[in-house]
Amino acid sequence: MTTIADTWGLHEGHFWLRGRRPDQPVSFDAGTGMWNVYGYPEALRILGDPKTFSSDTGRVVPEVARPSERSLTQLDPPMHGKLRRLVSHAFTPKVVADLEPRIAELTGELLDAVADTGRMELVADLAYPLPIVVIAELLGVPSSDRHLFKQWVDRMLENSQQFSLVDRGEEQARNLAAALEQVKHLTDYLGEHAAERRRRPRADLLTKLVEAEIDGERLSQAEVVNFANVLLIAGHITTTMLLGNTVLCLDAQPEQFARARADRSTVPAVIEESLRFFSPFAAVGRVTNVDVEFGGQHVPADQLLMVWIAAANRDPRQFADPDVFDATRDPNPHLGLGRGIHFCLGAPLARLEGRVALDILLDRFPHLRTDPDEPPQFIPSPNMTGVRKLPLLTSAG
Ligand code: HEM
């Protein structure tokens, strides 16, 4: 079977995208010193048991690769719950739902710019600017600074190639230090804005975060900045990939493309299947707190686990015909947005942006298709699955 991964040359390491299965659901990789978890039940067990499987991966990686402050994603209970409650107080479902008209307006404006050209590059023209402008406006930082965020995040990704606990060579140390330096640009930038909101509150999410209070407790400056940082990074590269991946999947499945066009109520299910089939966030990290038996393996304490949710989403023990993109799957309990206490806090925003943007894209372009002469390009990071360039032809013929 020729898969989309073969057709377009996706990351070689992502064997699950080529219809291949792992030899074992859990295995140790002596090359990197980490455990790989590929199976669905095994991933589910890990994500559902934060007592045994900690998110504080920073404690086992070399110091040079460690950010100085833990962000929400790296906290365990009870600190995680406290911080999540505080940030959820500001970043509520209503805050997200109220964004729908603005998302539609922005999508319209971005598509106006390419309306009569006969072609577009989906990422540069829509999938990148849309979520970054939305999240920047929501936070209250100037969306005109988005070229800065892009520069920092692109350099961060370039420098976070395959990580290994075994190879602590100079090149890896240099790359990790360079990646952290880019994160620092972003945290300094957000720190200045957060400090400004303490002095002069405005009607934006940064101000809400600065002022959020539960039982007399507030977020520290470092916690506000860290959370804003996660929102800015997680809030755009993943949604960018989601939009691009979804169009790529539909392009490869003309009947499903036609069905989505004809019946827009099916678009949300298309988005869910895209999250399963090409999970943008391919892996999440965890560390064992104690010795544990699972997936036929004995894993000692303090081991770093790469939980490949993208591979678990192709586990035939959970999904019938896992290598088939089928938007009619129901139920579709994919792990693309995580599971358990760390379940993606931005899921309502990602789903909203995906639905609104895809809907308008289909309205505007009845003849959308990939360009055989200009193949898509993919993000080079091994932990992500997503297009970074997707040239499309938009005219008939
Ligand atoms: C398609 C888009 C997205 C995907 C695939 C995605 C994926 C994920 C995954 C897999 C996790 C779990 C991490 C873990 O268990 O360690 C997560 C957590 C998180 N995501 Fe997303 N995400 C997306 C969009 C967003 C957006 C738009 C935002 C915010 C604006 C966001 C904010 C967060 C935050 C704050 C967490 C941490 C939650 C916690 O640790 O309690 N994500 N995301």
Kind of pairing, strands 284-288 and 369-370?
Answer: unpaired
Nearest CA to ligand 1 atom 21: 344
What interhelical angle do 267-277 and 347-364 show, nearest 10? 120
Q: Report the chain's mean pLDDT, rounded to a whole number.
A: 91
Residue 80 Cα: closest atom of ligand 1: 41
Residue spans of the chain under pLDDT 50:
none
Centroid of ligand 1 to alpha carbon of 9 (angstroms): 26
Kind of pairing, strands 284-288 and 217-218?
Answer: unpaired
**Cross-sheet strand order for the sheet of 26-29:** 26-29, 34-37, 304-307, 284-288, 53-54
Which one of 208, 286, 344 would you pick to mutate in the ligand 1 pocket, going by the greatest count of ligand atoms within 8 A of its CB?
344
| Alpha carbon distance 387, 164 (integer Å) | 25
Q: What is the pLDDT of residues 239-291, one digit of tens each?
A: 999 999 999 999 999 999 999 999 999 999 999 999 999 999 999 999 999 99
Nearest CA to ligand 1 atom 30: 235
Nearest CA to ligand 1 atom 19: 344
Q: Do you find a cis peptide bond into 78, omega within 30 degrees of 0?
A: yes
Write b or e for each residue in 28-66: b if 16 or more Cβ atoms lie within 10 A of its Cβ, otherwise e.
Answer: eeeebbbbbbbbbebbbbbbeebebbbbbbbebbeeebb
| Alpha carbon distance 292, 306 (integer Å) | 15
Q: What is the pLDDT of residues 135-169, one digit of tens each?
A: 999 999 998 898 888 888 877 777 665 566 666 56
Residues within a 6 A CB radius of ligand 1:
55, 72-73, 84, 135, 230-231, 234-235, 238-239, 242, 280-281, 284, 336-338, 342, 344-346, 349-350
The SS3 assignment for 341 reads helix
| Alpha carbon distance 17, 30 (integer Å) | 23
Q: Are 35 and 27 in contact (CB under 8 A)?
A: yes
Centroid of ligand 1 to alpha carbon of 393 (angstroms): 31
Hey, which residues does 384 pair with through a beta bridge? 281
| Alpha carbon distance 313, 296 (integer Å) | 20
* pLDDT for position 68: 58
Q: Do you find a cis peptide bond into 376, omega within 30 degrees of 0?
A: no
Centroid of ligand 1 to alpha carbon of 211 (angstroms): 23
Centroid of ligand 1 to alpha carbon of 337 (angstroms): 6
Centroid of ligand 1 to alpha carbon of 396 (angstroms): 37
Kind of pairing, strands 304-307 and 34-37?
Answer: parallel
Centroid of ligand 1 to alpha carbon of 169 (angstroms): 31
Domains by residue range for the chain, with CATH:
4-15+27-393 (1.10.630.10)
| Structure tokens that stand for 326 in this block | 């089928």
